[in-house]
């Protein structure tokens, strides 16, 4: 969209799919929502780096291939290939960003929250600007203590919205994840473990949340530009003064 002869800069969201599905499937899932919600964003939907290691729940409903971000034991306390996915996403975000925020469903939300917590502690994404927003759909925390001590050490100061289903088997863990964020918005829905269809109230609530973030970003962005200009002027003056003292 162009305004005043200039193309408006669109913000980017990285969207991480659920266990044994795909980026294409998450894109399809989000078509349940009013497109105006993310009208200001470019959405990217990468596939996880590991092929599904077993049967996918969407077989027969959505075509393969299917992928998974990492593997885990029955108690969700031990993880395999997690570090490889973290490294992959760290490189992906650094090379293809900057990204304004993350969106994830289920395993994708679990991993997204981990990245945000790790970034806050300067464990990953050290060269990338801080993320500003997070949309969690049926996300949870990791249970490994060595991860928790870093990722959730302090409240994660990223604007977050958490969609939690009343019939979701991860309802309580999703609420625990929300508690790891500073002033989270929780949108409840009557469905289960899925990207839910949103009623008018939930749609408006989510749209207003997004609009507030976009408006805040525009304001901050203008301030950063002014600050950079002021700093450059100050630097130029300082250089001129130093040069004038050279004999």
pLDDT (tens digit per residue) in 30-85? 999 999 999 989 999 999 999 999 999 999 999 999 999 999 999 999 999 999 99
Q: How wide is the angle at C-alpha 142 spanned by C-alphas 141 and 147, nearest 5°? A: 120
What pLDDT digit, counting tens, does each position of 10-23 carry? 899 999 999 999 99
Please state, in angstroms and rounded to a whole number, the distance separating the CA atoms of residues 5 and 225: 20
Report pLDDT for 242.
52
What CA–CA distances, in Å, run from 56 to 61, 106, 139?
Answer: 10, 14, 19
Tokens describing residue 138: 């049926």
More confident residue, 26 or 226: 26
Give me the torsion for CA of 163, 168, 172, 174, rounded to 10°: -30
Report pLDDT for 10.
83
The pLDDT-based confidence of 216 (bands split at 50, 70, 90) is confident
Q: Do 194 and 165 contact (CB within 8 A), yes or no?
A: yes
Q: How distant is the alpha carbon of residue 245 from its chain centre? A: 51
Please state, in angstroms and rounded to a whole number, the distance separating the CA atoms of residues 193 and 106: 8
Please state, in angstroms and rounded to a whole number, the distance separating the CA atoms of residues 114 and 105: 13
Report pLDDT for 26.
98
Q: Residue range 85-95: average pLDDT?
A: 96
What pLDDT digit, counting tens, does each position of 22-39 carry? 999 999 999 999 999 999
**Nearest of 214, 215, 190 to residue 201 by alpha carbon:** 190
Q: What percent of the chain has pLDDT over 90?
A: 81
Q: How distant is the alpha carbon of residue 90 from its chain centre? A: 12
pTM: 0.85
More confident residue, 183 or 7: 183
Q: Residue range 191-214: average pLDDT?
A: 95
Residue 53: cis peptide before it, omega within 30 degrees of 0: no
What pLDDT digit, counting tens, does each position of 123-162 carry? 999 999 999 999 999 999 999 999 999 999 999 999 999 9
Report pLDDT for 215.
87
**Nearest of 157, 152, 150 to residue 134 by alpha carbon:** 157
**DSSP secondary-structure letter at 196?**
P
Helix (H, G, I), strand (E, B) or coil at 28: helix
Q: Do 133 and 160 contact (CB within 8 A), yes or no?
A: yes
Q: How wide is the angle at C-alpha 213 spanned by C-alphas 114 and 85, nearest 5°? A: 20
């Amino acid at each position: 969209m162009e305004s005043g002869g200039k193309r408006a800069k669109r913000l980017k969201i990285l969207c991480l799919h659920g266990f044994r599905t795909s980026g294409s499937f998450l894109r399809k899932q989000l078509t349940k929502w009013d497109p105006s919600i993310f009208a200001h964003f470019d959405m990217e939907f990468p596939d996880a780096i590991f092929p599904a290691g077993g049967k996918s729940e969407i077989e027969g409903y959505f075509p393969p291939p299917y992928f998974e971000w990492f593997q885990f034991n029955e108690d969700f306390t031990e993880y395999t290939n997690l570090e490889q996915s973290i490294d992959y996403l760290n490189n992906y975000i650094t090379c293809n960003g900057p990204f304004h925020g993350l969106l994830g469903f289920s395993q994708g939300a679990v991993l997204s929250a981990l990245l945000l917590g790790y970034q806050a502690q300067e464990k990953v994404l050290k060269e990338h600007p801080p993320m500003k927003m997070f949309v969690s759909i049926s996300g949870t925390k990791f249970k490994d203590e060595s991860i928790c001590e870093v990722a959730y050490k302090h409240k994660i100061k990223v604007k977050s919205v958490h969609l939690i289903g009343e019939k979701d088997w991860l309802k309580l863990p999703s609420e625990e994840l929300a508690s790891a964020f500073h002033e989270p918005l929780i949108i409840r829905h009557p469905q289960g473990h899925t990207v839910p269809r949103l009623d008018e109230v939930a749609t408006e609530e989510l749209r207003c949340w997004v609009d507030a973030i976009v408006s805040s970003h525009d304001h901050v962005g203008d301030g950063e530009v002014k600050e950079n200009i002021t700093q450059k002027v100050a630097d130029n003056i300082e250089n001129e003064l130093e040069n004038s003292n050279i004999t």
